[in-house]
Structure 1
Amino acid sequence: MMKSTLLGVVVALAPFAASAQVTLTAETTAPGSTPHYIDTTLAAVLDSAGVAAMQITEGATLTNSVQAVAEGRLDMAPAPLILPFLLSRGIGPYSGVDPEDGAAIAANLRVLFWNSGSAQIFGYYNNNPVEDIRNLAGKRIWNGPPRGAALTSGRAMIQLLSGGKEGEDYEGIQNDWPDTVSSITGGGADAWTIPEGLPSGRQIAIAAAGGTTIHDVPSDLLASELGQQIMAAPGHAPYSVPVEDFRAAYAGNDITIVTDDDTFDSFATAFGQIVNVSMDDELAYQITKAYLEGQKRFLEGSPRGPFLMLSFGDVDGTSQGACGAVQIKMHEGAIRAFEEAGHSVADCLRP
């Protein structure tokens, strides 16, 4: 069940008249996830800076959140970038939306800042090991929630590793996010593939029930034509972390990390912190300015902070998973904040 929590207090928006106050409505994922950490940290940063209060609904389905922001029913949400892409075409989880309407709605979305903090991993229990991750025929694999960006990425991961397709070569297991751990620990799957931040509380909880092994994408597969297509697919971005840093993040837990070189390589789920184009320029500027000034808090407030791939410098678009198939733009107020802080913003991200 989703729960709503008011973070911070309503405070005066400094650049506006003294009587002006703002509360931002936002939705995010379940506690323990990367988007949840970013959103709750942002709420604290905005409160401390006297910019705004954020009223956050947790455990939301981001497919719905993205559409709500695009339609102006919600102020802010973290968006896996594949979702604006799918909405703009009326396909996938938005197949009920007319393509022309989807394109018009998606055009209302703007990004304040970016992150790629969740990398696709493949795991299994050591007492029921997968002997060859390139042969997953007949396996029951948890590959995402019932719909949305994570499921698309999960299916792509299994296709890349083994060439398998759900329903033909393996059985796909899906649950809503809050039920993920219990489904896996209860024996509902032989293996799992999930976009995870580092370290992942979910992976630690899964390993508490028995030792696990986590794989990255083998180098030859990542460099293959399919691997490069998946890496450049809408909603994805490159991800590479020194394997010793990856192992250190899980130190003290019964989790074995397997790579074929000295880095943990995969494709990341690219995110943008989205608002509606109608958000006041000054408000978007003040939010983004406070975000940039809160860099230390984001990076040091959690063990996963250094691995969030948050945008605190130049924004080239490609590294953020945009300026390709995904053509989403930044808010003009956000661009002003980045440029005033001395950072460049790619032309392809300008409205």
Structure 2
Amino acid sequence: MIRQTILGAVLAAAPLAAAAQATLTAETTTPGSTPHYIDTTLAAVLDSAGVANLQITEGATLTNSVQAVAEGRLDMAPAPLILPFLLSRGIGPYSGVGPEKGAELASNIRVLFFNAGSAQIFGYYNSNPVEDVRDLSGKRIWNGPPRGAALTSGRAMIQLLSGLKDGEGYEGIQNPWPDTVSSITGGGADAWTIPEGLPSGRQIAIAAAGGITIHDVPSDLLASELGQQIMAAPGHAPYSVPVDEVRKAYEGNDITIVTDDDSFDSFATAFGQIVSASMDETLVYDITTAYLKGQERFLTSSPRGPFLMMSFGDLDGKSQGACGAVQIKMHPGAIRAFEDAGHTVADCLRP
């Protein structure tokens, strides 16, 4: 995996900014993804505010990043909320950690703010179309990286669409995130399911090799018992955007959007920006305050900004995917920043 470290977080963009008060380490996903956009924008916001110099490593596997934050080896990371949930139980990718140690580590994680900017999609090349998204028998489907939250969500998507499980009716294809586009464009899969922001640079790159079609989840499947279970599952949240806005976001690219009504409906991957519970409260307050003051920059610096579903207002917990199956707490410094900005924070988010 090729990793690139961004030092100074766009220092040239703010040459007159005050000297950073802290140097923090962070890991994020590959360029073009929602977490990458949020993290690099946050780095620029913190630098401009003179709060911190955020040193970011790209192309990380967030399963590892979450554990690194919990162990105190990393200051900050974007966390699909299913990962702290799995860590707290010592299961899935954290089975080697075990329940007791996993619970201890998970208790050391705190959230600064939330977002749900990526929704699960299903796509394929028009030159090799899937005739019926409910019949995926025998297909080779790229459904995520080798492990982690995205793979769990990808497998859930295919089971919801077709009733099939990975290795039982279809062949799941997995690659590390940096290899996703090349694997798909190279013919390594008949179709793919990926949690994507809007617009997705990854889908645009895939479409550059030939026209593609992207589907949401058919309404009857989303409303089914399994659909409701998946939307309420740890790390998920409902996602709905007017289909005209989705089509406009991909305008100029050979991308066809298919829905059965006027909205693109799916389940989102709920994220929290995490730090250690031991991080200095004043520093966390300053970081979160700068984040809240940077709202316009987050929403306007990229076409995907308006669709990030980021937390800039009141926090009820459930809308953020944090007060149901996932029980995760905010850092006291972050809570104080939200409240000082005039927002309410649900009791279920308090440590």
> 1:301 is matched by which residue type in structure 2?
S
Aligned equivalents of 2:127 and 2:36: distance in 1? Answer: 32
Residue equivalent to 2:309: 309
1:12: Cα distance to partner?
4.6
Residue equivalent to 1:344: 344
> 1:185 is matched by which residue type in structure 2?
T
Residue equivalent to 2:79: 79
Residue equivalent to 1:157: 157
Aligned equivalents of 1:179 and 1:98: distance in 2? Answer: 30
> 1:292 is matched by which residue type in structure 2?
L
1:2 is aligned to 2:14: no
1:211-290 mapped onto 2 (5 Å cutoff): 211-290=211-290
Aligned equivalents of 1:60 and 1:70: distance in 2? Answer: 16
Give CA-to-partner distance per residue, 1:31-59, whole Å, 9 cap, x none: 11100000000000000101010010110
Is the 2:77–2:273 Cα contact (8 Å) retained in structure 1?
yes
Residue equivalent to 2:190: 190
> 1:86 is matched by which residue type in structure 2?
L
Residue equivalent to 1:18: none
Give CA-to-partner distance per residue, 1:121-157, whole Å, 9 cap, x none: 0000111110000010000000000000000000000
Residue equivalent to 2:48: 48
SS for the counterpart of 1:103 is helix
Aligned equivalents of 2:8 and 2:325: distance in 1? Answer: 35
Is the 1:238–1:268 Cα contact (8 Å) retained in structure 2?
yes
Residue equivalent to 2:61: 61
SS for the counterpart of 1:329 is coil
SS for the counterpart of 1:78 is strand
1:118 is aligned to 2:100: no
Number of aligned pairs? 344
Return 5+ residue gaps in structure 1 as ranges. 14-20
Is the 1:11–1:22 Cα contact (8 Å) retained in structure 2?
no
> 1:304 is matched by which residue type in structure 2?
R
1:164-175 mapped onto 2 (5 Å cutoff): 164-175=164-175
Residue equivalent to 1:93: 93
SS for the counterpart of 2:244 is helix
> 2:251 is matched by which residue type in structure 1?
A
1:180: Cα distance to partner?
0.5
1:7: Cα distance to partner?
2.6
Q: 1:11 to 1:23 in 2, by over 3 A?
A: farther
Aligned equivalents of 2:310 and 2:200: distance in 1? Answer: 17
> 1:298 is matched by which residue type in structure 2?
F
Query: What is the RMSD of the two structures over their aligned residues, measured on CA atoms?
Result: 1.0
SS for the counterpart of 1:285 is helix
SS for the counterpart of 1:287 is helix
TM-score where L is the length of structure 2:
0.97
> 2:207 is matched by which residue type in structure 1?
A
> 2:336 is matched by which residue type in structure 1?
R
Is the 1:7–1:40 Cα contact (8 Å) retained in structure 2?
no
The ranges of structure 1 where at least 4 consecutive aligned residues each deviate by more than 3 angstroms after the TM superposition are 8-13
Aligned equivalents of 2:200 and 2:297: distance in 1? Answer: 19
Return 5+ residue gaps in structure 2 as ranges. 12-16
Give aligned-pair identity as a percent: 84
Residue equivalent to 2:210: 210
> 2:127 is matched by which residue type in structure 1?
N
TM-score where L is the length of structure 1:
0.97
Aligned equivalents of 1:219 and 1:345: distance in 2? Answer: 32
